Structure 1
């Protein structure tokens, strides 16, 4: 049946009568999704945008990892998670505690080779196996979504 993916009538009515006006007043009437990065975003902010039918997707990475390392996408989404690792990349939680929190480390072809003419700083960031130590604390849930829980640097 081609109608299985249709949204309920009440939702479609609210979108037409309410969401559309609020989104237009905020200048978001043509927005279908937003991406955020650089800092964790609060659950309240995520819920606000979701209440306007605008999903906010999080990206996580560093300049040293050529940008994003994890991403949230429409079919793989958890509130306050920065998503799952991008294909071809690896994430490791270094020295996890009893709750699974540890330093987030990146590995992959997207990770930089080092800081130019700064071997000491490069050695601090990259370990002998090529893992980039982010200085961020995080953990994975049972479905491999990454959650940032703090900073160690």
Structure 2
């Protein structure tokens, strides 16, 4: 009986030692990732990077099956020209791959399959703000043309990249 109990205690201590070694290795890996500045939650879209550090890429994400998208897009056509005039980069992103959107001259149309990472948005239309590194700073639902215009003019009137 004493031998079985001793074997159980030795086995338990060995298991504790192995767990401690595994935990130590995990801590080392986490610290290494932190020292590199790697942030897993950071999503980059280099193809949507803003032209300069003090400017933004402002993108309207739309789908053809969304009635609010059509309303917001009509307002977007004028707002995009104003954004472009201020030096920002206006982009229309077609989440469903439709290329039927008639974007204003000087603006871009990108489809979701042209992007390095997907936009996982539960709402359309959405207004996206992206900095000069291609980092997505905000993705906000746009419920109306008025809300779209208001948010875009907030971006235009700021001196630096706006993040929410």
TM-score (norm 2): 0.25
Larger Rg: 2
- The structure richer in strand per residue is 1
What's the TM-score once normalised by structure 1's chain length?
Answer: 0.26
